């Protein structure tokens, strides 16, 4: 039976990256979520891929819930047209609140903040603290080397092979959302 995905936390760059592929992917994901009536939960800024994602979801009639830190809000980074926004004390509170609001998580390409947010959500799933599937929108092979690193963890016996399946991976927004909707958590325990 498919999961109910009423809101998805999106982790992505506050920069746009090089070329058009990342911008196009952020817009496509925002539009896809709006079409499906899935609320976008994200970091609340108008900057980079985050702003493009929010703009596309809003343009498609979607709901966008921003969770921004006080520091970024004070710098004027809050997106002005969100459906709803919250200001929290710092990044830890932001990640916790975003995960509380979401039924699943998707990471678009981004920098170290994106990677850290994604890894925390995946870790919490692996440990059984949450049951909220995580996915990577693998735009232009962006996450290929990351998955190679995961394979190295498996090869060197730091991660059970079945836990690689704890990440949904796809280059297409619609297909990735579909994978999250039918996601089943690996049942192999973490400790080998």
- Mind listing the pLDDT tens digit of every residue in the chain (192 residues)? 789 999 999 999 999 999 999 999 999 999 999 999 999 999 999 999 999 999 999 999 999 999 999 999 999 999 999 999 999 999 999 999 999 999 999 999 999 999 999 999 999 999 999 999 999 999 999 999 999 999 999 999 999 999 999 999 999 999 999 999 999 988 877 776
Is residue 177 included in any domain, yes or no?
A: yes
Residue 39 main-chain phi, psi, to 5 deg: -70, 135
DSSP 10-34: EE--SS--SSSHHHHHHHHHHHHHH
Is residue 126 included in any domain, yes or no?
A: yes
Count of structural domains, the chain? 1
Is residue 89 included in any domain, yes or no?
A: no
Enter the pTM of the model.
Answer: 0.95
Is residue 6 included in any domain, yes or no?
A: no
Domain of 131, in residue numbers: 102-143+170-183
Q: CA quadruple 23, 15, 84, 98: dihedral positive or negative?
A: positive
Q: Return d(Cα 150, Cα 183) in angstroms, integer.
A: 19
Is residue 107 included in any domain, yes or no?
A: yes
């Amino acid at each position: 039976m498919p999961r109910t995905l009423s809101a998805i936390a999106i982790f992505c760059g506050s920069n746009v990256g090089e070329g058009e592929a990342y911008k196009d992917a952020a817009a496509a994901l925002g539009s896809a979520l709006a079409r499906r009536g899935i609320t976008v939960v994200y970091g609340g800024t108008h900057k980079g891929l985050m702003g493009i994602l929010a703009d596309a979801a809003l343009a498609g009639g979607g709901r966008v819930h921003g969770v921004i830190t006080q520091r970024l809000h004070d710098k004027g980074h809050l997106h002005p047209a969100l459906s709803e926004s919250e200001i929290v004390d710092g990044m830890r509170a932001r990640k916790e609140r975003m995960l509380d609001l979401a039924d699943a998580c998707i990471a678009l390409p981004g920098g170290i903040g994106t990677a850290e947010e994604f890894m925390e959500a995946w870790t919490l799933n692996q440990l059984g603290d949450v049951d909220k599937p995580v996915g990577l929108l693998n735009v232009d092979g962006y996450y290929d080397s990351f998955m190679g690193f995961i394979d190295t963890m498996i090869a060197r016996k730091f991660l059970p092979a079945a836990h690689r399946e704890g990440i949904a991976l796809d280059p297409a927004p619609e297909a990735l959302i579909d994978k999250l909707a039918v996601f089943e958590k690996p049942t192999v325990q973490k400790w080998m």
